[in-house]
Amino acid sequence: MSVLPAAATALDLVDAEVRELVRRRGLDPAVDPGPVRALVREVVADYAERSLSSSLPPLADPEGVLRDVLDRVAGFGPLQRWLDDPEVEEIWVNEPGRVFVARRGRSELTTTILGAGELADLVERMLRTSGRRVDMSTPFVDATLPDGSRLHVVIPDVTRRHMAVNIRKFVLQAHSLDELVALGTLGTQVARFLEAAVAAGLNILVSGGTQAGKTTLLNCLCSAIPARERVITAEEVFELRVPLPDVVAMQTRQPNLEGAGEIPLRRLVKEALRMRPSRLVVGEVRQEECLDLLIALNSGLPGMCTLHANSAREAVVKMCTLPLLAGENIGHAFVVPTVASSVDLVVHVGTDPSGHRRVREVVALPGRAEGTVIETADVFTSRDGRLVRADGYPPHPERFAAAGFDLAELLGDRR
């Protein structure tokens, strides 16, 4: 057993004994969680028995010690309790003594305090399975934790003094549009219309702010893709879960220590087109990859993606702006009509003051543009806090008919 100070607590002693046994037996907590869990339970029981007839500090809460040691050895220390809490959507650390969590869209400062150097050790452990790194040459990192949560880290001197850590948990509360209806995110009529739009092969853009539920909605839209299709997904880190038999998921890669080997999202979009896709799904469009996505959609390949924006119309404007980042030879004269003819629907989601996520509007692009302004039509809009039918119609009614849907009936326009 490791040498510990005389004032060591029962938790420290059990933790040290477990770590020594893990080392001796060659166990890997990430690979062998079952044997490690059994080992911790065995050590706690043995320690409790020995403490009754010795000077060892007694175990006031054996189950609590068991949980804390497991968190230390096989989890992510003091942060593990928040990762295990199903109500917590996101965790962020501004400094070791300031750990915040978000529940139902609202943030709160926790009582969790990390020790000196503990945060850096936890980040190193979190990155171990991802193959990614963070150092002075790469002060930012995006990675996926084993449970699917998304990790983002920024280190000094980009930050003032302490590293900033964000963990966005993959809390997929819904797997289908019907489940979103049950949660109150959208109504039944809107869900049936969006299901039909996906099945008919319309190109759909999901817009909204941070933590508005864009990825969850995109996942639910993916559940409406016909099972016969081959789907290729491209993301910065894996977040999409497409419940189909023929799916290839790809994520970006950071450069190596020599600065080579980087694979940006734009490269993934290009490579996806060589993989015989029936449909292309991009997790989030942020930069010049928007141009390649537009070219793919304009070639007749159905697709979906998400985009940060404050409204559906702002999302359309942003789709016209991002491709300009691809080079000086790309101008509005090409981009605007391409967006107008390539994007069919924009579904905008937002969070209300109570933290509840709702679809705010569904906007169609009929395919026409006047100068640099793209014409839009409201299919569904929010009135008095409810999503109701507006007077607009989606493009390509023939695709709905070919897929076996009565568009007028879906929109409630048939009397």
> Helix/strand/coil (H, E, C) string of 96-163?
CCEEEEEECCEEEECCCCCCCCHHHHHHHHHHHCCCCCCCCCCCEEEEECCCCCEEEEECECCECCCC
Look at residues 405, 370, 378, 373 and name the one whose alpha carbon lies nearest to residue 394: 378
Tell me the sheet residues that pair with 306: 206
Measured distance CA(284)–CA(210) in Å, rounded = 12
Domains of the chain and CATH, by start: 1-71 (no CATH), 75-171 (3.30.450.90), 177-411 (3.40.50.300)
Spell out the residues 6+ positions from residue 119 whose beta carbon is closer than 8 angstroms to its own: 93, 96, 162, 163, 165
Tell whether the torsion through CA atoms of 314, 320, 323 and 328 is positive or negative: negative
pLDDT tens, residue by residue, 261-285:
889 999 999 999 999 999 999 999 9
Composition of the chain by helix, strand, coil, percent to 5: 35, 20, 40
Measured distance CA(52)–CA(120) in Å, rounded = 37
pLDDT at 409: 93
pLDDT at 414: 63
Residues of the chain with pLDDT under 70: 1-8, 116, 171-172, 257, 414-415
Structure-token pair, residue 118 = 């503990």
Measured distance CA(415)–CA(409) in Å, rounded = 9
